[in-house]
């Protein structure tokens, strides 16, 4: 048995035993049939409103399994590094905020909402989870495709500008955003948009060999000549995607603008 499954079961048992816990749900790979020995464990745990102020999430989590590190990341998520090198994410919220679950619907596809259920004493959790089921948001839209093209241009321009200024490290950071928007357009082309918000996840399996090679061509080490090649390759790929997708979607970016970007890169 995977140690993650033991941790998940321990969380379930603690929720049942702890009168301060009103409900608990899980999200992530183990709710999508994709969990393996390298996967995180991720939970929302709802605490009685009048107890949340004095509730010690650090103490609660440390009783689940020995931990080496607990901290809050930049998104306010409590991140746990268990002593067995498994990573966890925990959100502890007052039960009065349980309807935050409704906000998950636009973020993706939830193929098995029953697997997200851990514990509930409120009778609110299961209906909220059931509402997450069904088809995910439509990503194959004019708005999304245009968003990806426009933001590609924005990230590309910023990256090239700071590269020309000599800020190579900053340009390499901008290149990761260029890659993100290219991947979103590739996923539209190949109809693999279920991972729209996390475009690199399972990339080796999700996209064609040709598209994967395209992605590799826009990666780079922190060397100016390699980075310039990556930015040029990015334009090559987007030029082809633009020609293909602009016949299907309303796109602001056109071949004339792409030609200007080529010229700008070579100035």
CB-based contact 146:251 (threshold 8 Å): yes
Residue with structure tokens 């293909």?
244
Kindly report the length of the chain.
267
- Confidence tier at 7 by pLDDT (50, 70, 90): very high
pLDDT tens per residue across span 29-59? 999 999 999 999 999 999 999 999 999 999 9
The reply to whether CATH 3.20.10.10 applies to domain 142-266 is: no
Residue 151: predicted pLDDT = 98
* Nearest-angstrom CA–CA distance, 215 and 210: 9
Domain boundaries, the chain: 3-130, 142-266
Is the pLDDT confidence value at 1 over 90? no
DSSP the chain: --HHHHHHHHHHHHHHH-TTEEEEEEESGGGTT---TT--EEEEEEE-GGGGGG--HHHHHHTTS-EEEEEE-TTS-EEEEETTS-EEEEEEEEGGGGGGGGGGGGG---S-GGGGEEEESSS-HHHHHHTT-S-----SSHHHHHHHHHHHHHHHHHHHHHHHHT-HHHHHHHHHHHHHHHHHHHHHHHT-GGGGGGTTTTHHHHS-HHHHHHHHHT---S-HHHHHHHHHHHHHHHHHHHHHHTTTS--S--HHHHHHHHHHHH-
Do the domains spanning 3-130 and 142-266 agree at the CATH topology level? no
pLDDT tens per residue across span 100-139? 999 999 999 999 999 999 999 999 999 999 999 998 899 9
- Confidence tier at 63 by pLDDT (50, 70, 90): very high
pLDDT tens per residue across span 219-230? 999 999 999 999
Task: Give how far Cα 51 sits from Cα of 19, 26, 228, Å.
Answer: 10, 22, 56
pLDDT tens per residue across span 179-219? 999 999 999 999 999 999 999 999 999 999 999 999 999 99
CB-based contact 41:30 (threshold 8 Å): yes
DSSP 30-49: GGTT---TT--EEEEEEE-G
Residue range 3-130, CATH number: 3.30.460.10
């Amino acid at each position: 048995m995977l140690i993650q499954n033991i941790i998940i079961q321990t969380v379930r048992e603690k929720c049942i035993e702890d009168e301060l816990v009103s409900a608990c749900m899980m999200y992530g790979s183990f709710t999508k049939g994709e969990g393996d020995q390298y996967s995180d464990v991720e939970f929302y745990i709802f605490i009685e409103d009048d107890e949340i102020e004095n509730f010690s999430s650090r103490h609660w989590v440390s009783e689940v399994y020995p931990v080496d590190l607990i901290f809050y990341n930049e998104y306010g998520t409590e991140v746990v590094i268990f002593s067995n090198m498994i990573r966890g994410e925990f959100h502890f919220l007052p039960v009065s905020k349980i309807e935050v679950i409704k906000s998950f619907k636009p973020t993706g596809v939830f193929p098995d909402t029953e697997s997200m259920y851990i514990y509930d004493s409120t009778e609110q959790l299961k209906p909220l989870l059931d509402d997450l089921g069904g088809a995910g948001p439509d990503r194959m839209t004019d708005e999304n495709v245009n968003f990806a093209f426009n933001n590609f241009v924005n990230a590309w321009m910023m990256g090239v500008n700071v590269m020309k200024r000599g800020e190579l490290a900053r340009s390499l950071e901008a290149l990761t955003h260029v890659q993100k928007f290219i991947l979103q357009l590739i996923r539209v082309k190949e109809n693999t948009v279920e991972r729209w918000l996390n475009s690199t996840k399972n990339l080796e399996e999700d996209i064609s060999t040709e598209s994967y090679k395209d992605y590799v061509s826009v990666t780079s080490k922190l060397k100016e000549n390699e980075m310039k090649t990556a930015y040029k390759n990015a334009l090559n790929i987007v030029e082809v995607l633009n020609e293909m997708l602009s016949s299907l979607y309303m796109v602001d970016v056109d071949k004339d603008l792409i030609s200007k970007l080529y010229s700008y890169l070579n100035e």
